[in-house]
Amino acid sequence: MLQTFVLYAMPFTFTLLVACGLAALVCGLYLFIFRIRPTNQAFRHPYLDNRAWERYPVSIRLAITLDYFFRIAFPKSTYALIGNANRLLAHIDPTELPSRIKWPLIGLWGGVFAGIISMVTLWILVFLGTL
């Protein structure tokens, strides 16, 4: 019974992992090539008051976009990292942002987090398949 489940679930999980990776790649490239300036102007992150976007390393740029994602996806949360993003971006109302600003951020970070979940699920299925 378990082997049959693993046999059907493993290809589905792998396909989901690949789809999440491609979605994150496409949305991330679109965001960072075409939409990063309007996105930064719409959100006005406090870190960008200190330095220009181009002067930050890639890790901090991604952290800034993660703050944008958390503000859009969880606007009322006050817990931990999400709460910090909401405090930093409290001047932004996520419902007033246009969709052309939101969808690349949601596609990038939603694909990353859904991909992490599907990768862990795939690892568990591989482990169960070896039993």
What pLDDT shows up at residue 2?
81
pLDDT band of residue 129 (cuts 50, 70, 90) is confident
Rounded CA-CA distance 17/29 in Å is 18
> Cα–Cα–Cα angle for 78, 111, 82, nearest 5°?
10
Neighbouring residues of 97: CB distance < 8 A, sequence distance ≥ 6: 42, 72
| pLDDT tens-place string over residues 1-24 | 788 898 899 999 999 999 999 999
| pLDDT tens-place string over residues 54-100 | 999 999 999 999 999 999 999 999 999 999 999 999 999 999 999 99
Joined tokens for residue 101: 């600003």
Q: What is the H or E stretch that residue 23 is in?
A: helix 2-30
Domain assignments of the chain as residue spans, ordered by start: 2-130
What pLDDT shows up at residue 109?
97
| SS3 label, residue 52 | coil
Neighbouring residues of 115: CB distance < 8 A, sequence distance ≥ 6: 17, 20, 21, 24
Cα–Cα distance list, 41 to 14, 44, 63, 68 (Å):
37, 5, 16, 12
